[in-house]
Amino acid sequence: MTIDELSTFLENNQQIEWTYDDDGIIYLRHTHYDGQNDKVRIEPRALAELTPQKLEQVLIGGRNVDQITRITGYFSKVSGWNKGKKGELVERQRVVVS
C-alpha cells in the first residue's frame, strides 16, 4: 500500500482516526469500538506489504459480529435493539433442558 492508497482508504472510512509521529510511524484506531483502546501501529517499511483488506481486518479484529437471538420463534439481530431490550438480554437466565 502506498501513502496515496492509505489516504484514499482513510477518506472512505470516516470512523478511523489516525495520527503519526516524527519517525513516520502511523497510528490508526477505529472509533466504532470506543470501549477498546486498540491502536494499530504501522511502521513505514511495513506499509508496502499492507493491503486495504488486511488493514480493515486488523482494525476490526473480529469485533464486527452480529449477535442473533430467537424469541418466540423469530430470529432478530441484537444490534437493532434499544438499550432496554439489550439490558433484558444481559439479565436473562439461561438453562439447559436435557
Question: In this structure, are 8 and 50 located in the same domain?
Answer: yes
| 78 and 56 within one domain | no
The predicted model scores a pTM of 0.53
Which among 29, 36, 35, 34 is positioned nearest to 14, based on CA atoms? 29
Domain range for residue 43?
A: 3-60
- Judge contact between 26 and 47, C-beta under 8 A: yes
The per-residue pLDDT for range 44-95, each reduced to its tens digit, is: 888 888 888 888 877 777 666 677 777 777 888 887 888 998 888 888 887 8
Domain count, the chain: 2
Distance CA 6, CA 47 (A): 9
Give domain status of residue 46, yes or no. yes
In a domain, residue 78? The reply is yes
Q: How confident is the model at residue 18 (pLDDT cuts 50, 70, 90)?
A: confident
